[in-house]
Copies of this chain bind each other. A is one copy, B any other.
Amino acid sequence: MKIKEIYNFLDSLSPFDLQEKWDNSGLLIGNFEDEIKQVYISIDLDEQIVDEMEENSLVITHHPLIFKALKTINYDSYSSKLVKKLIQKNIALISMHTNIDKTHLNKYVASKILDLDVINSEEFICYANVNDSFENFANKISKNLGLKYLKYVKCNEEIKKVALVTGAGMSLISEVKADCFLTGDIKYHDAMEAKARGISLIDIRHYESEKHFSPLLEELISEYLKKNQLKAIITASKNPFKFCTQGEPVE
């Protein structure tokens, strides 16, 4: 099966033209005419999972491995190192980033993973009704995402409506119309801003909120691949973060 056939199918699922102008979704490495024998799906790449992939395959990631354009490929940086490994194993790479955030991922995480009552999902922000205490709600999020340790900013005792952006969504804070905002990679100044605006935050983390990309995409493309005698293997780059408390690992 040729890459361009899968590319076109993915484009019909979630048009690459929907990506934000700063994004770099699409075919990043490879040639539309190449034949592939194996498809992998992963939120990201790291050295170990590329080592374990078969040659002449295709990997579909959520995050674009090439984000800032490359002036040199010097094997020091994260992207250069993995570009080298992929090319040496002749593995093609397609990334589906802000296009699938908009068409599927936010809604999927909100309804299927977090079990929220979604009322609206457009562009990057997904809204749901809550009507519960902050504590109950935080516990539910914690359990559904499997986060033992929770970082949060609390402004109110009760939450009526929640907004969700998977990954790192704090740049959207001024557009949020809800009393609680769920997103990842929340920085200190973001937290100060939210506090002043009276919007509670629960940090659902970048990796943990977006790793659901893989089962979601697998579900969306398995039938199509089957017809073409292919199967998608879900693989996962490791979460780089570990947590400990007083020397004892927490997660």
Contact size range, A: 35 or more
Q: Which of A73, A150, A250 is most buried by chain B, counting CB atoms within 10 A of its CB?
A: A73
Complex interface: chain B residues within 8 A of A152 (CB): 241-244
B148 touches A196 (CB 8 A): no
Complex interface: chain B residues within 8 A of A74 (CB): 27-32
Complex interface: chain B residues within 8 A of A35 (CB): none
Q: Is A185 an interface residue (CB 8 A)?
A: yes
Q: How many copies does the complex hold?
A: 6
Q: Is A195 an interface residue (CB 8 A)?
A: yes
- Given known A-B contacts A174-B77, A244-B150, A250-B149, A196 and B82 have beta carbons under 8 A apart: yes
Contact of A63 among B148, B189, B197 (CB under 8 A): B189
Q: Which of A75, A90, A193, A207 is most buried by chain B, counting CB atoms within 10 A of its CB?
A: A75
Q: Is A226 an interface residue (CB 8 A)?
A: no
Contact of A72 among B28, B44, B194, B207 (CB under 8 A): B28
Complex interface: chain B residues within 8 A of A192 (CB): 44, 46, 78, 237, 240
Complex Cα spacing A151 to B189, Å: 18
Complex interface: chain B residues within 8 A of A194 (CB): 240
Complex Cα spacing A151 to B150, Å: 12
Complex interface: chain B residues within 8 A of A47 (CB): 196
Complex Cα spacing A175 to B157, Å: 44
Q: Is A69 an interface residue (CB 8 A)?
A: yes
A138 touches B189 (CB 8 A): no
Q: Is A229 an interface residue (CB 8 A)?
A: no
Complex Cα spacing A42 to B24, Å: 33
Query: What are 5 A-B contacts with C-beta separation under 8 Å?
Result: A31-B76, A46-B196, A152-B244, A191-B241, A195-B240
Known pairs A31-B74, A76-B197, A139-B247; list 9 more (Cβ under 8 Å): A29-B74, A30-B75, A46-B196, A66-B73, A81-B196, A82-B196, A151-B242, A151-B243, A152-B242
